[in-house]
Amino acid sequence: MVPVNKQGSENDVSAFLICESETEEFDQFKKLSNNLLNINDWNVIAGKNPVESYIDNKNQSQLIQENDLAKIKIPKKENKMRNGFAWVQVQKIQIIETEDLKIIVLQMKPHS
């Protein structure tokens, strides 16, 4: 059972990477997009400030999809309720491509 969220905050995060070639750009975008959507491995990827997270009721190797619920614990964010974990729901996953730019958007919100 997923508890109803009554409070929360938002955090907009972005990162940029400039590549030397289109091949490197494609490879890096594919790798980093996969890392972003594989939240079961965020704790491995995060390094010094690991994030505990997993997709609810999904195969551990499955990538997150729109409408999925995820349980996330961010170490720098104080959350004494539910042992520091917060339930979020994936609202949108979008890939935007232009001639010079590739973007992946992962939008989540506290579950309510």
Q: Provide the whole-model pTM.
A: 0.73
pLDDT in tens, 14-44: 778 888 998 998 999 999 999 899 988 877 6
At 54-100, the pLDDT tens digits run 787 666 668 899 999 988 876 655 656 556 678 889 999 999 998 88
CA distances from 9 to 13, 46, 63, 110 (A): 13, 21, 24, 8
